[in-house]
Amino acid sequence: MPITLQQVRANCTKARQRMQDARQQHWAFGAFNLDDEATLRAVARAAQAKNAPVLVEVSQGEVSDIGLENVRDMVDNIKYEYGVEIYVNLDHSPSVEAAKKGIDAGFEFIHIDVSQANHDASDEEIIAATKEVVEYAKFTGALVESEPHYFGGSSNLHTETIDYEEIKKTFSTPDGARAFVEATGIDTYAAAVGNLHGKYPVPKQLDLELLQRIRDAVQCNISLHGGSGTPGHFFESAVKIGVTKININSDMRIAYRKSLEKILAEKPDEYSVSKLINGYVVKEVQKVIEEKLATFNSTDKAIV
């Protein structure tokens, strides 16, 4: 069912207001990756159980597999089926053209990240691309997110330890954040304060003092990427500081794969894999999401 421009603009207006609500009321949207219908259903069921507003997001890999319009339709269908407050984010869009396609498809949130495709992109290139997307997004009112440099890691289970001395070299700074926000006009700044894509053998450590200084330096929203493998108390502190969006992917994927492997081993004669996924795997992924929503303080914050 195609979404109209009027509906897109209404959704974006509501999303923008809800991000303001999150900051004022000290809670954060959980932004959960959509790999397939099963993960979408897990997100919707968790949102329904917790009465929490959520984002689902797709990166370029999921866009290539599913398609922007299909994602939009899937989310709209699940939203009405479960009666939940849910929005769509285009995560780590690697180019201006890809970001514009997400805006055209009616996504409420757009993350432009040209450094994802080109780790050596200059400051000037990143700012110019981000400004172009910000200007284009005014047509629908979509919220634009970005950061001034490449954010490391990958949405996987890593075996290496975290070299914090190396990672600290890419930490955000209050002055750098302020300059980037002023230069681009973005709605959301993706901060780097110890968060890192993927899950590692040791828990992640967030520099909350730095996060507070960044919060004091910028007026826009702040997001945290790479939330998997982070102890919940860091999230509880982050939302009190004023973070309004936290991305989770690897924790979900690990729960999905491990639970699928377990149920396949337990039921070797069942060849309807979708039956096993819907009957068992979705529940395990849902548990992960509900745990996150509790630490984001977003329980009972939904407005449908």
Q: Cβ contacts of residue 180 below 8 Å, gap of 6+? A: 127, 146, 147, 148, 186, 189
Long-range contacts of 70-78 (CB under 8 A, 24+ apart): 71/34, 71/105, 72/3, 72/105, 72/106, 72/107, 73/1, 74/34, 74/37, 74/40, 75/34, 75/40, 76/1, 76/3, 77/1, 78/40, 78/41, 78/44
Marked catalytic residue, from 35, 76, 91, 251: 91
If we measure between CA atoms, which residue out of 253, 224, 231 comes closest to residue 155?
253
Q: Cβ contacts of residue 127 below 8 Å, gap of 6+? A: 148, 180, 183, 184
If we measure between CA atoms, which residue out of 60, 17, 7 comes closest to residue 221?
17
- In the annotation, is 91 catalytic? yes
Q: What angle do CA 127, 112, 13 make, to 5 degrees?
A: 105
Tell me how long the chain is: 304
What are the catalytic residues?
A: 91
